[in-house]
A and B are shown apart, each in its own frame.
Chain A
Amino acid sequence: MNPSVETTLRAHRDRGRKLLVPYVTGGLGDNWALVLPALAAAGADAIEIGIPFSDPVMDGPTIQEASAAALAGGATPLSIFDDITGLDVGSAPLIVMTYYNIAFHMGEHRFAASLAGAGISGAILPDLPLEESVSWEREAAAAGVETILLAAPVTPDDRLAQIAARSRGFVYAVGLMGVTGERAGVAVSASTMGKRLKAVTDKPVLIGFGVSTPAQAVDACAEADGVIVGSALVRRLLDGAGPEGAARFIGELRRALDRG
């Protein structure tokens, strides 16, 4: 049984720790999977692995570039599952983030089973909104995979409550109106999102999109339980940071969050 995202994150949060979830693009370079244990050792509470998709409409230039590079290098969902199967990342649960066509094409049932078999605990499908995700959530739950749903700044209150209620693992608060990528500062909408979600759910609430620096991570945690950091880390990996450089960056974020 893979570690539960929600149980793990709740336990960390309940002892006063701010949550840190880095994102890496799966298949980015031959030894990409070595980054995962390094991130866990540097203080990641869970790790997101992106399965690259040819048409990533929610992603900005950095993740687009990484996705294209991984695909050009021959990455496939199966190669990524192979690369992480049996990998020791300590207690940090693994979460997959990809676009729905990857799951749909493989078949929801088979995709969910493949995730579980590769040691993956959760899944995020950003182009699968509430209305379209019922059958996927059922297949995922049956395989023991937690489906993490996204809430956006424009989501109305009643819908926000539904998303929070149906999300498993944590609630992914999209911190700004826009695609993934580094920004100069944390959007005001991020703290509003944190506040609105905390008012309707006891589940961990994490802010993603536009959180790139230790200071921004601390800012974003003013209302929320933690942050997801993607593009800033992937940018470093594209620039050749490797596992050590990635761990150094996540370590800085960890220490900033621990200081508060």
Chain B
Amino acid sequence: MALSLMDQPSDDGRFGDFGGRYVPESLMPACHELDVAFRSAWADPAFRAELDTLLTEYAGRPSPLTDAPNLSERLGVRVLLKRDELNHTGSHKINNVLGQALLTRHMGKRRVIAETGAGQHGVATATAAAVFGLECVVYMGEVDVERQALNVFRMNLLGAEVRPVSSGSRTLKDAINEAMRDWVASVEMTHYCLGSVMGPHPYPWMVREFQRVIGDEALAQCRVKIGGVPDFVVACVGGGSNAAGIFAGFADTDSRLIGVQPDGGAAIGRGTPGVVHGSKSMLLQDEFGQVIEAHSVSAGLDYPGVGPEHAHLAEIGRAEYTMVSDAEVLEAFQVLSRSEGIIPALEPAHAVAWVMREAGRSIPSGSTVLINLCGRGDKDAAQVMEMLKR
């Protein structure tokens, strides 16, 4: 059997030219330890069974795959939704953190730290920490603390400490910087529970593997529901964990894979190769290699880089990466709410927005389109309410 297009990276953590492990020496032993721990756990049926039980009984998997009949009729294409917003904590982030929390316990560590943008990964990490009895600190940019106040409260309620980050752009990128600084000082007792398919090896690979449950389920569900695979699989991309998860199920099929980025944070398209936060990937940067701040209505996609495997999938042409505007996203947020009774998070509203714009254009009428609805929009309601008033 031929190797999967989304198989393991090389031993040094590369997907083609991208990836690697660009971290200070102080973090190298921890990255190595994590690599060994993940490889052994992932090959261990007992670990897999334990995680499956958690995903089923605690997170509520499998998530349904449903038709969006009203939106389908409006657009002239058949829209299917992978309902990962129905997971416990309201997004796909729980898939990854349950895996990493189990690994944390296997490695004998008692403390986890995380970065968060929209707060979804922070909430998921705080949740897993509560279940596993781990100390939890979440770094969050001050801008995001403000626009995602509800999630800050949820994290506090779950027993996590939220540390606002006031450096740089005060968003996700700076939260990652601060989490890495914490980790450099605390690495012997602390696991960094990174929320996306980025960072130093083994994170991009490990997080994708923890998220591939989305794609594996969706592939099986599509076979039952439509007797095959959809023409398009569409997911939003910031760091790109939900996209990596669903793409992993379809990489070796004929489905076209579409990653939708915010146009103010489209590392693939507007970026160039660069190295930040532990790996080589595509990056928004100036002519001297200084990282440029991203700008997006969505805190979860407000990031100037992208996971290295996405840079690779773009380079080999297996996945296509596009962008939508904040205005298109706001429109999609409302349309999905009204047409299907589903309030999406602003992040997957990017995927919906692209489908709304391209149906009948680059998506031929009559196509079948699977959208990964990776998060629910409760957290965004207050922010969108303010924006719609203006």
Interface residues of A (CB under 8 A from B): 53-58, 60, 64, 68, 71, 76-78, 100-102, 104-106, 126-132, 149-156, 159, 163, 174, 177-179
Can you name the residue of chain B whose Cβ is closest to the Cβ of A127?
B22
Q: With an 8 A cutoff between CB atoms, is B185 at the interface?
A: yes
Q: How far is the CA of A154 from the CA of B185 in the complex (A)?
A: 11
* B289–A60 CB distance below 8 A: no
Q: Mark contacts of B265-307 with chain A using CB atoms, 8 A cut-off: 1 yes-contact digit, 0 otherwise.
A: 0000000111111101001010011110000000000000000
Flag if B167 contacts A54 (CB, 8 Å). no
Tell which of B25, B167, B283, B290 has the most Cβ of chain A within 10 Å.
B25
Which of B181, B187, B274, B288: most chain A Cβ within 10 A? B288
A-chain residues with CB within 8 Å of residue B20 when the two chains form the complex: 131-132
Residues of B close to A127: CB separation below 8 A: 22-24, 275, 278
Also in contact, A55 and B289, with CB within 8 A (given A104-B275, A150-B25): no
On whether the beta carbons of A55 and B275 are closer than 8 Å, the reply is no
Kindly list 10 other residue pairs between chains A and B, CB separation below 8 angstroms, not including A57-B180, A101-B274.
A55-B173, A64-B167, A102-B289, A127-B23, A128-B22, A152-B26, A153-B26, A177-B26, A179-B181, A179-B184
Contact present for B290 and A54 (CB under 8 Å)? yes
Residues B184 and A58 in contact, CB atoms below 8 Å apart:
yes
14 CB contacts below 8 A, A to B, read A54-B291, A55-B173, A55-B276, A60-B181, A77-B288, A104-B275, A105-B288, A129-B23, A150-B24, A151-B25, A152-B25, A174-B24, A174-B25, A179-B185
Q: Which of A68, A150, A179 has the most CB atoms of chain B within a 10 A radius of its CB?
A: A179
- Please determine whether B177 and A129 come into contact, CB atoms closer than 8 angstroms: no
B50 an interface residue at 8 Å Cβ cutoff?
Answer: no
Contact A177 B274 (CB under 8 A): no
Q: Which chain B positions have C-beta within 8 A of A101?
A: 274-276, 283, 285, 289, 291
Interface mask (B29-60 → A, CB under 8 Å = 1, otherwise 0): 11000000000000000000000000000000
* Chain A to chain B: the 8 pairs with minimum beta-carbon distance, closest first: A105-B289, A178-B185, A152-B26, A54-B290, A152-B25, A57-B180, A54-B291, A101-B275
- CB-CB under 8 A from A60, the residues of chain B are 181
Please judge, given known A-B contacts A154-B188, A177-B188, whether A129 and B181 are in contact too, CB under 8 Å.
Answer: no
Do B25 and A155 have beta carbons less than 8 Å apart?
Answer: yes
Instruction: Choose one: B24, B29, B168; the contact of A54 (CB below 8 Å).
Output: B168
The distance in angstroms between the C-alpha atoms of A127 and B275, with both chains bound, is: 9
Q: Does B12 contact A (CB under 8 A)?
A: yes
Q: Point out the residue from A53, A102, A150, A177 that lies within 8 Å of B185, measured CB to CB.
A: A177
In the bound assembly, the distance between CA atoms of A257 and B167 in angstroms comes to: 36
Given A154-B26, A156-B29: A104 touches B289 (CB 8 Å cut-off) = yes
Chain B residues whose C-beta falls within 8 Å of the C-beta of A178 in the assembled complex = 184-185
CB interface residues, B 207-235, toward A, < 8 Å:
none
Q: Which residues of B contact A53 (CB under 8 A)?
A: 289-290
Complex CA distance for A154 and B173, rounded to whole angstroms: 26
The distance from the CB of A25 to the nearest CB of chain B, in whole angstroms, is 14
Does A177 contact B25, Cβ atoms closer than 8 Å?
Answer: no
Asked whether, in the complex, the Cβ of B187 is within 8 Å of the Cβ of A102, the reply is no
A164 to chain B, nearest CB (A): 12
Select which of A55, A78, A104, A151 is within 8 A of B168 by beta carbon.
A55
- B294 CB to nearest chain A CB (Å): 12
Q: Which residues of A contact B174 (CB under 8 A)?
A: 55
Interface residues of B in 170-193 (CB under 8 A from A): 173-174, 177, 180-181, 184-188
Contact A131 B181 (CB under 8 A): no
Contacts of A131 in B (CB 8 A): 12, 20-21
* B21 partner residues in chain A, CB cutoff 8 A: 129, 131-132
Asked if B342 lies at the interface with its beta carbon under 8 angstroms from chain A, I say no
The minimal Cβ–Cβ distance linking B387 to chain A, given in whole angstroms, is: 28
Q: How far is the CA of A177 from the CA of B26 in the complex (A)?
A: 7
Q: Which of A101, A153, A174 has the most CB of B within 10 A?
A: A101
Residues facing A in B136-180 (CB within 8 A) are 167-168, 173-174, 177, 180
CB distance from A216 to the nearest CB of B (A): 18
Give the distance in Å from the alpha carbon of A149 to the alpha carbon of B177 in the complex.
22
Chain A's closest residue to B293 (CB) is A54
Q: With A55-B173, A105-B285 in contact, do A129 and B275 touch (Cβ < 8 Å)?
A: no
Among candidates A64, A76, A100, A159, residue contacting B275 with C-beta atoms closer than 8 Å: A100
CB distance from A135 to the nearest CB of B (A): 12
Residues of A within 8 A of B285 (CB): 101, 105
Chain A contacts of B314 at CB under 8 A?
Answer: none
Given the complex, which residues of A lie within 8 Å of B22, measured CB to CB?
100, 127-129, 132
Complex Cα distance, B290 from A128, in Å, reads 17
State whether the Cβ of B330 lies closer than 8 Å to any Cβ in chain A.
no
A60 CB to nearest chain B CB (Å):
7
In Å, the complex CA distance between A106 and B273 comes to: 11
Given contacts A53-B290, A57-B180, A77-B288, contact A155 B275 (CB under 8 A): no
**CB atoms of A57 and B24 under 8 A apart:** yes
The complex places the Cα of A62 from the Cα of B333 at a distance, in Å, of 42
Residues of B within 8 A of A68 (CB): 167-168
In the complex, the answer to whether B24 meets A126 with C-beta atoms within 8 Å is yes
What residues on A are CB-neighbors of B184 within 8 Å? 57-58, 177-179
Question: Across the interface, which residues of A come within 8 angstroms of B107, CB to CB?
Answer: none
- Give the residues in chain B near A154, CB-CB below 8 Å: 26, 28-30, 187-188
Which single member of B29, B272, B283 contacts A155 (CB below 8 Å)? B29
Q: How far is the CA of A200 from the CA of B277 in the complex (A)?
A: 31
Residue of B nearest to A98 (CB): B289
CB pair A55–B291 under 8 Å, yes or no, is yes
Task: State A56–B280 Cα separation when bound (angstroms).
Answer: 16
Nearest chain-B residue to A160 (Cβ)? B25
